[in-house]
Amino acid sequence: METETATRWLTDDEQTTWRAHLDVNRLLMHQLERDLQPFGLTLNDYEILVNLSESDDLRMRMSDLAAATLQSKSRLSHQITRMENAGLVRRENCESDRRGLFAVLTEHGIATMRRVAPHHVASVRRHFIDLMSPEALTGLRDSLLPVVDHLRGQRGKL
């Protein structure tokens, strides 16, 4: 795809923005992980709990959950095994659907979400949302949504 043209290196301004984006990513994921640690959850665990809790009947097909969390099926399978051992989810076969292996939120998973979610939201506010004005947040959203669309399109090309 690349033609032999001169490399367009990043300008100083572009470089500053790019590094700020990378730094926020990494520092923020690190901070959110740290804030979840007292609850015995990783950020990956939390994300799976959120996905299941927002789904009909608190369950998702494993392949849909892998797509939603951008993980490979084998990596997700290991993750679900760990969460099953912690009593947060269970696997379930669906009789009417041969493709259907589901991950289902357990009572303990629901209770865990209820307990942890307020702390996680407070953490997201303290370290990200509340540091920006409403205008800055709107600007950020308008800048990022086209990037999300583009990247999802790329992913479709896999």
| Shortest spacing between CB 92 and its own copies, in angstroms | 27
Contacts (Cβ under 8 Å, ≥6 apart) of 79: 44, 45, 48, 71
CA distances from 157 to 2, 12, 152, 154 (A): 17, 32, 9, 5
Helix or strand holding residue 139 (H, E): helix 134-156
99 or 158, CB closer to its own copies?
A: 158
15 or 81, CB closer to its own copies?
A: 15
Binding of residue 14 to its own copies (CB under 8 A): yes
Could you tell me the end-to-end alpha-carbon distance of the chain, in angstroms, rounded to an integer? 15
Tokens, residue 84: 């099953």
99 or 157, CB closer to its own copies?
A: 157
Binding of residue 12 to its own copies (CB under 8 A): no
The Cα 71–Cα 83 span in angstroms is 15
Residues 49-78, mask of contacts with its own copies (x by CB under 8 A): ---------------------x--------
Binding of residue 28 to its own copies (CB under 8 A): yes
Find the part of the chain contacting its own copies (CB under 8 A) among 59-67, 80-88, 92-100, 113-121.
113-121
Binding of residue 147 to its own copies (CB under 8 A): yes
Find the part of the chain contacting its own copies (CB under 8 A) among 14-22, 74-82, 90-98, 99-107.
14-22
Strand residues in the chain grouped as ranges (E): 59-61, 89-93, 101-105
